[in-house]
Amino acid sequence: MPYVVKRPERDIWEQSYIPETVRGMGVTLRHFFRNVIGRRDTVTILYPEVQRPYPPRFRGLHRLTQRDDGSPRCTACMCCQTACPAECIHIVAGSYPDGHPLAFVEKYPAEFWIDELRCVFCGLCVEACPCDAIRMDTGLHARPVEARPHLMYERNLLLSITDAKGDVLTANPRKK
């Protein structure tokens, strides 16, 4: 036996949707006048003069940290390149010659670049790095550019970017 669904009984006034339209316009006008007169819920900021504060956990642009002698901390272990889901990190490893003060490290990044256009800023590269060489603590956005190659950040540029406090060394006290 089929089940019959009872339709609600509506008169012509409810069928016209006039009460609901008036109620919706009332909510809209209430919010409008509350923001125009009282400015209680205004979310607009005067951008160039007033900038929105970033949360403390904001991941900024990437940077490579340096040792005390100015050489990169990166040992070209490829952990960050492997962990990157967007595949935006490219590393070519080079070897230090015998007798070099950092020959105990064995490898260094001969080429290191990050494609900031492909990066999803997930922070997995920072978590994967065993020697705290790559950080995302700059507090900076990628700058607007006119051509795609300008957002291919190479090793020397990544080494010159400082953290939010202006330091090029690592902020991790265990990795000094």
Mean pLDDT rounded to a whole number for the chain: 87
Instruction: Give residue 106's region: left, alpha or beta (phi > 0; psi -120 to 50).
Output: left
- For the stretch 68-85, pLDDT in tens is 888 889 999 999 999 999
Q: Which residue ranges make up each domain of the chain? A: 17-51, 63-171
**pLDDT value, residue 25:** 97
**pLDDT value, residue 10:** 83
Mean of pLDDT values over 107-116: 92
CA dist 57 and 126 (Å) reads: 14
pTM score above 0.95: no
Contact 15, 7 (CB under 8 A): no
pLDDT > 60? residue 46: yes
- For the stretch 125-161, pLDDT in tens is 999 999 899 999 888 888 889 999 999 999 999 999 8
Q: Which fold has domain 63-171?
A: Alpha-Beta Plaits (3.30.70)
